[in-house]
Amino acid sequence: MKKLLIYTNGGLSIGLGHIMRTLLLASKLKEIFNIVFVSLNKNNFISGHRLIKDSCFELVLIDKSEDIIDINSNYLLCDDCMINDDFFTYSKKYFEKIICIDDECVLKYYDVDILINPNPYAKELQYNTNIATKLLFDYQFLRDEFYKKIPIKIRPEIKNILLTLGGSDDKNLTYKIISIILPFIEKNNITLNVVIGGAFKFKDELIKIRHKNIVFFQNPVMSDLMVKNDIGICACGQTVYEFLFLKIPIIGIVLSEDQKRLAQYGSDKNILYYAKNIKDIAIFLEKSNYNNRLNMQYSMKLYKKYEKLEKIIDELL
């Protein structure tokens, strides 16, 4: 069995999105590869390290990305937004194959064997790669649980709203968003379902909130929870694609620089409402009606169909 290193980082300040999607991919590959995760040994990334260990994968910590060449392996897969232009060229002679998962095309040159971009705008980006580089732009990182669900039906009235900002929330935005939209929630007697991620810095403060219209969840089965809601509020990362698959109208906010492109793309295609600040969330909710939510769902139904992640295995071998 060949060995695959997965280099990724996540935690405070950068969130857990890269960790989550590589764990999903690893779950599909673990029967054919000996998988070892590699991450930087930084205090900010402890929550990401814990998530990897809790998923029962081996984890090796390194002091700098260049140290990865000291770990013997056949393949290297990299999903990290902090890699510089020289990393892949420097590492290439030490591995049979290098695979990169990328979102934004920020490097001048991608000296890799396989390049994966799961975003709908991927083919619009001007990637500079080798002629032989295999481009995989037709795969979506969705957990199996979502394929078992059917899209929601748009109801005339909003009854339930889901607020979920991923695994971490360093700026206590969840609390701030609750405060801003609470008047709308109370006025319309709506249930606000709030997901508290495992690495939330202000978890205790949120749990202390007591309100008849607010329900908190920790570690829920997300697909089960999502389909009970009429609108989803989330960061413009992986969660967008989960709401999109279930055809749930989305209010998206940007938590990091690499989410801006998806936010703007989604807004242009009318598959989400881009709230450029959290006050915009309340404004959109006030303006929301049956017709504009129905129109957004119609735009979602025109959205490109992606291949299941299982089908990517043959491409990586």
Residue 102 belongs to domain spanning: 3-137
Q: Which residues contact 26 (CB under 8 A, 6 or more apart)?
A: 6, 35, 37, 55, 57
164 and 290 part of one domain: yes
Q: Please give the pLDDT value at position 14.
A: 79
Q: Which of 137, 167, 191 is the last residue of a domain?
A: 137
Is residue 309 included in any domain, yes or no?
no
Domain check: are 159 and 290 in the same one? yes
What burial class does residue 113 get, using C-beta atoms within 10 Å of its C-beta: 0-12 exposed, 13-18 middle, 19+ buried?
buried
Q: Output the pLDDT for position 28.
A: 92
Q: What is the CATH number of the domain that holds 12?
A: 3.40.50.11190
One domain, residues 274 and 168: yes
Residue 307 is assigned to a structural domain of this protein: no
Q: Is residue 312 part of a domain?
A: no
Q: Does residue 267 form part of some domain?
A: yes
Question: Does one domain contain both 161 and 282?
Answer: yes
Give the residues across from 99 on adjacent strands: 77, 114
Whether 22 and 71 share a structural domain? yes
Asked whether residue 20 falls in the same domain as residue 64, the answer is yes
For residue 3, give both structure tokens.
């060995």
* 86 shares a domain with 65: yes
Is there a single domain that holds both residue 85 and residue 221? no
Please give the tally of structural domains in the chain. Answer: 2
Please enumerate in sequence order all residues whose Cβ is within 8 A of that of 164, keeping only pairs 6 or more positions apart, or say none.
Answer: 194, 195, 197, 222, 232, 233, 234, 239
CB 78 within 8 A of CB 25: no
Q: What is the pLDDT of residue 304?
A: 66
pLDDT value at residue 305: 72
Q: Quote the distance between the C-alpha of residue 176 and its chain's center.
A: 21
pLDDT in tens, 197-245: 887 888 888 988 889 999 999 989 999 999 999 999 999 999 999 999 9
Greatest C-alpha distance within the chain:
62
Give the pLDDT of residue 135.
95
CB-based contacts of 49, cutoff 8 Å, min separation 6: 11, 39, 59, 61
133 and 152 co-located in one domain: no
In a domain, 308, yes or no: no
User: Quick one: 192 and 266 in the same domain?
Assistant: yes
Q: Left if phi > 0, otherwise alpha if psi is -120 to 50, otherwise beta: which for 11?
A: left
> Do 96 and 156 have their domain in common?
no
First to last CA, the chain: 12
% of the chain with per-residue pLDDT over 90? 76
Question: Which pLDDT value is given to residue 84?
Answer: 85
CATH of the domain at 273: 3.40.50.2000
Is residue 260, in this structure, part of any structural domain at all?
Answer: yes
Residue stretches of the chain with pLDDT short of 50 = none
Asked whether residue 243 falls in the same domain as residue 128, the answer is no
C-beta of residue 161 within 8 angstroms of C-beta of residue 230: yes
DSSP structure class, residue 310: G
Please give the structure tokens belonging to residue 210. 């007591």
